[in-house]
Amino acid sequence: MSVIGSPASRAAALRVHGGIGRSVRDSLVVAKRNLIRMIRIPEVVIFGLIQPIMFVVLFSYVFGGSIAVGGNTDPNAYRQFLMAGIFAQTVTFATAGAGAGIADDMHKGLIDRFRSLPMARGAVLTGRTLADLVQTALTLVVLAIVAVIVGWRIHEGVLKALGGFALLLLLGYAFSWIGALIGLSVRTPEAATSGGLIWLFPLTFISNAFVPADNMPTVLRTIAEWNPFSATVQAARQLFGNLPEGYPVPAAWPMQHPVWASLIWSVLIIVLFRTLAVRKFRSATA
């Protein structure tokens, strides 16, 4: 009898598939628990919507006529350029909420109660990040409606637009794992919120989100062009058809191939920070 067809090998295969299935089921259960919690505390979602809507209105009407994009100072041209940056900022700023939620669960001892249950260890973090992804998707829908009201439009068709939103959500999911690691590394939810935001401001502002990077000093321009945040913003603009006519596309590889750059950056961030977060989770609850 071959090794592949032996009872021992079949049993090992069943254990592997059973382990994966159990991890998926446990993750979905934790995600459901967090979604129910969000529904019962709607002010968390409401306040999460107010900030990006304020950014849309303020940037569109306060700075719209002052910033030239591709030599065009038309406020509507800037609105088209701006929206991908606002979308990307919104999905990444959800990182602070993810970190604060996990830190709160750790602080209240909820993680210890999960440990007493026969469930996959990584399911607690995966379920939390999946629930945050659903909330982020809801926020994007509302934000897109507001953007349409102020004049934003897509010009490359619905399928490409959906691809742009998918890249934005993938980036948000990737960054939620950074938030998970921060939440596991601090002692209080307040520290997780501060730690989740302090590095996001330079990441989002040293980018092409709000202004073209070609006017930045050389060092900052190079950072902006290789910034994973910039890659996703550029990819979304390309898929939405929001790159203004005459806009100079930088020669850096991520800006020339933003869709691939966005995918690569997001996958690398997920693999790296999920590994670190799960390892930190196991050591913190051992």
Take residue 160 and report the two structure tokens written for it.
């490409």
Segments forming the whole domain that contains residue 200: 26-284
The reply to whether 145 falls in a domain is: yes
Threshold 0.75, pTM exceeds: yes
The reply to whether 14 falls in a domain is: no
The reply to whether 165 falls in a domain is: yes
Give mean pLDDT, residues 272-283.
88
Residue 201 has pLDDT above 70, yes or no: yes
Residue 5 has pLDDT above 60, yes or no: no
Give mean pLDDT, residues 114-132.
78
More confident residue, 157 or 61: 157
DSSP, collapsed to helix, strand or coil, labels residue 112 as: helix
What is the percentage of the chain residues whose pLDDT exceeds 90? 33
The reply to whether 237 falls in a domain is: yes
The reply to whether 178 falls in a domain is: yes
d(C-alpha 222, C-alpha 214), whole Å:
9
The reply to whether 12 falls in a domain is: no
Look at the chain and report how many structural domains it folds into. 1
Instruction: Name the band, by pLDDT with cuts 50, 70 and 90, for residue 10.
Output: very low
The reply to whether 77 falls in a domain is: yes
The reply to whether 102 falls in a domain is: yes
Q: What is the pLDDT of residue 162?
A: 96
d(C-alpha 240, C-alpha 156), whole Å:
6
